[in-house]
Chains A and B, each alone.
Chain A
């Protein structure tokens, strides 16, 4: 082989390897289409659109990343999508109207919030059985499991509380009053505190595990945007825990919060009614689902700029990145 050609082949091989190294997939649930959209993490092209149960919202990867657990709220079940064959291979019992879920670090127990019957359902994903139902407040919503797996925090939309559940015993160990209509829960990587977003309250509440005390708040203000449009919902924490990204709903902004000072560093204009967010595996990009503009916004984290809008299905809601 002539040297020039060898170099070309080598360069191609390198490019291919680099491509493989970043070959992650972005998975989006489309609430009104009843589909999951899979996008290539590099090109942002749609790989496929998979029909699933009705009103898919909360989604989570299995521990081996082979499956996606999907809350199909109006089908009253959790569906298991095989990400190799792209077939729904199992229906898990979940209780009525599952909205959000979180997988325990043991990879076996799935904690599901049932919006309609005020329960958190614990499902064994291997055996497909309900292990336990835990009564919580009215309209359970957000779910967050501490990094060590000891505690599960569930928020209830109407009771305005964060309920701390002992993952082993299923007992509620603390009920903490937070802002109006609490939504998501984000744990700090050290497991010593967590944030709760409040959609109507328009704030975040910071809670320390020691004594389960409220130790701070984050407030938002976007010039020219009325306060009622600022509705904090989904959150994502940077890998080092230094920055918290918060979706602000119909303010069409993502707030970037410095977790040390609890101050907003900046607001980024994304698509309409931003619901949820996920970081790429290397943390360089942030993806947001925008429920009214039906697209995914792509944020370059280093530059703090919105670089792309990618149309997906109708009313995109949940988003996860599969490495």
Chain B
């Protein structure tokens, strides 16, 4: 009996040793294991979606690749952990993942009570509604008596309750655990309305049997700033993730793209020089090499490039820049300068 217990304890200990650990210094851990463990969705086109080969693409995935490029100079040194809405915060808290980049809304509760830090906003979103065209609904205010499909454990579930209550509309909520199930139920006619972040509506519409039969209503009922999340208490890692996003936004502003980044290295513009590390020691201050931002842009491009590649007008999702345009173009994407 005793021996069994000891050997069981030993097995547990060795298994524990076999898997990766996380401690206060995430950067050291990441460097030691040689890759960034990134928490992503279980499949949301445009944000984080695997193809049948298991290759992940999307705007959230590009952020992870950017972080890997900043740390290792190689955007492919990322491993992905698909997480449900329920698991995502525990996975980050327990150190299973290093960064959570999973279309996660920045809210006060999450920022304060869950032990997490939001490292910026890589997509400004808002919750919208999708309905069948043949219902002839033109506004969300005509939805009284409708049944609404949504995800559980998300802010959308709370927002939709608030919205219908505030406007004194009757509704029936049908809340599923997985995004795919919500789409399937909506597609099968279980609900009249599908609600989630508007970007999600465009993305999920692609999975419907007849995407053309459905329309997104004009109302946006909430603010949904989506961004990457890290653990509290590790400022260095927080800074790396935060500035990865900022570097991409700054690069767009300065006109640096993945195509011209090598030429731009010879630029005389001091702002460009600072970003690309030919002037100043900004990388070292983050605990990285000075070419950190160069590596990010080389690997995934600037913010505009990742937007256009994953969700932009030329993709199936066909989302316009809107609020996600640069501040100089009337949008909200604004990065502090690198200096």
- Same complex: no
Q: Footprint of B on A, CB under 8 Å? A: none
